Structure 1
Amino acid sequence: MSYWRYWQLNGAPFSSDSVQPLFRGASVEEALARIEFLVSNRRNLGALVGPSGVGKSSLLRHCAACPPVSPEVPTLQMLRTSILGMSGGELLVDLATRLTGSRKVPVPATAWNVLCDYFQAASREGVQTVLLIDDTESSTTAAEADLSRLLSMAFPLTVIFAVESQLVSAVSRSLFERTELQIELPGWEQTQTADFLRWSFLRQGRSEPVFTAGAIERLQELSQGLPRRIVQLADLSLVAGAVSQTDLVDTDCVDQVAWELPKSLAA
């Protein structure tokens, strides 16, 4: 029997499928509101800052799939990319190729001309492009220079770049100086963790509690409120509870799986 069937669920509650809906807790709602402000006011640049595992990539995926269309900006072109390891010119080529839907643009010089033509047409038609960039802390100096070049132009372009809070110093100071709004994405409080677990189980057809209050408190303590760790610990705790045939996932289940995980993940 699958562990989720033991808990009378319709499916795995913490699927890694990227098309899973976003849990819109208080911190996520605040971040989404700030992104919507930047887009609806056609602002140039925003920085999404948070610790590793807090859900920055999930938030960007959600924005790309559900554009924040408003009366002020009724037509949006949303693009999401990772700048991880990009060399000089790659960002321009990727952006030009995807915006125009053409075959891969061969060289950065051609890509720049294509982008200039595209944004001129977009400006006439009232189209705002939103570029969502992940892994900015891992970008090369050359790729960051390409981004700065884009931002220096009067293009109808809003850029939201995500950066790990512990690695903010890896991003150039000039990029942060251009930033018009910083979007903080902190770890969750315990109430938000409890709401997330309740939401996850309701989506799979169970309204009764699965975790005891003590188990939720222990999850919060071990995960430090980071969603990635919460999901990992909660999922494995469900497995442990099903194996031991408990009525509810308790503190012992959580401690058991935490002990078996690498200490960097369990603490």
Structure 2
Amino acid sequence: MYLQHWRLDYSPFRTTIDAERAYPSEALRESTARIEYLIAERRRVGVLLGERGAGKSVALAVMQRRLQQSGAAACVVDAFGLSRRELLWQVAEGIQAEPDPTDDEGRLWRRLSDRAQHLKWQGRDAVLMVDDVEQLGADLMRQLVRLLRIDPAPDSRWTVILATDPARLSYLDDAVLHAIDLRIDLYPWTLDDTTGYLQNALFEAGRLTPIFDDEAILRLFELTTGVPRHVVRLADFALLAGAGAGADSVDAGTVEQAFEEISWSPPVAAG
């Protein structure tokens, strides 16, 4: 571990999703603001697009926390590996429709419809967010179409946000694509975002003086192209490499060494 070497209280760079500690990058602020606009304007369906590692899951977690704090019934469902009943169950549980373990699909649909109507009567928003939506097979995609239409009334307060990679948008059913009211693009971090993230993460972990010099930060940004997940991983490996070398700080050479040692290979900018 490098914590003692760098005088850190804990590892500052983690890939786990933590809505409370999510770095407020320009991209995150813009994407969540557009989701809030979609909900406020009573639009039905939005699609959040970003390449793998861009922070879609983080953006959804941030929105879930924010919406729940405002009184909305909001849930995030990971589409990977779900069965028909699991999809309905997770949505019902997520919006507090009180599903019963004995419920069949028909009963779950009734619970969802009743809950959507009850929330509307209370003046509360219901927001379903589906991460990795392209993972739904044809059968579940038809269920998704039905979920989009669970409250077709003009005064509906039911909103669905779908998250996927732009290259996989075409995997969605035509009925889903035609239902989309707003496209929300989640762009990689800027150099300023990357710099701010590194400084903030290290400070919160107990480091009061910089570890990465300016050239190291620039090189880290170039090598990761600002993709948040890659920034986090490369920064972590750079700390490990620097500690292993007994360095007093992380320079561009240390970042490049760390980059060569890790298994993934994002696009590399010429340098």
Distance 2:72 2:62 in 1: 15
Match of residue 67 from structure 1: 67
The code of the aligned residue for 2:71 comes to T
Distance 1:56 1:145 in 2: 23
Match of residue 84 from structure 1: 80
Note the C-alpha offset of 1:231. 0.7
Q: Which of 135, 141, 144 matches 1:144?
A: 141
2:184 counterpart SS class: strand
Aligned runs of 1:84-103 on 2, under 5 Å?
84-98=80-94, 99-103=96-100
For the 8 Å contact 1:85–1:140, the answer to whether it is kept is no
Note the C-alpha offset of 1:144. 1.6
1:133 counterpart SS class: strand
Distance 1:123 1:39 in 2: 13
Match of residue 237 from structure 2: 236
Range moving further from structure 2, 11-20 or 39-48: 11-20
Consecutive unaligned residues in structure 2, runs of 5 or more: none
2:21 counterpart SS class: coil
Change (3 A) 1:262 1:16: closer
Note the C-alpha offset of 1:68. 7.2
Match of residue 121 from structure 2: 124
1:10 aligns with 2:6: no
Distance 2:215 2:203 in 1: 20
For the 8 Å contact 1:67–1:78, the answer to whether it is kept is yes
1:100 counterpart SS class: coil
**Identity, % of aligned pairs?**
31
Superposed CA RMSD in Å reads 2.0
Distance 1:6 1:180 in 2: 51
Compute the TM-score of the two structures, normalised by the length of structure 2: 0.89
1:177 counterpart SS class: helix
The code of the aligned residue for 2:3 comes to W
Consecutive unaligned residues in structure 1, runs of 5 or more: none
Change (3 A) 1:75 1:105: farther
1:108 aligns with 2:84: no
The code of the aligned residue for 1:34 comes to R
1:183 counterpart SS class: strand
Match of residue 54 from structure 1: 54
Match of residue 25 from structure 1: 25
Change (3 A) 1:45 1:51: same
Note the C-alpha offset of 1:157. 1.1
Note the C-alpha offset of 1:105. 5.0
For the 8 Å contact 1:13–1:203, the answer to whether it is kept is yes
Note the C-alpha offset of 1:106. 2.8
Range moving further from structure 2, 222-231 or 114-123: 114-123
For the 8 Å contact 1:97–1:105, the answer to whether it is kept is no
For the 8 Å contact 1:5–1:11, the answer to whether it is kept is no
Aligned runs of 1:204-243 on 2, under 5 Å?
204-243=205-244
Compute the TM-score of the two structures, normalised by the length of structure 1: 0.90
The code of the aligned residue for 2:39 comes to V
The code of the aligned residue for 1:138 comes to Q
Change (3 A) 1:266 1:182: closer
Note the C-alpha offset of 1:254. 1.1
Distance 1:151 1:92 in 2: 13
Match of residue 203 from structure 2: 202
Note the C-alpha offset of 1:127. 2.1
Match of residue 40 from structure 1: 40
Note the C-alpha offset of 1:146. 1.1
Range moving further from structure 2, 131-140 or 39-48: 39-48
2:196 counterpart SS class: helix
Change (3 A) 1:56 1:105: farther
Note the C-alpha offset of 1:263. 5.2
The code of the aligned residue for 1:173 comes to D
Would you say how many aligned residue pairs link Structure 1 and Structure 2?
A: 262
Note the C-alpha offset of 1:87. 3.3
The code of the aligned residue for 2:32 comes to L
Range moving further from structure 2, 87-96 or 55-64: 87-96
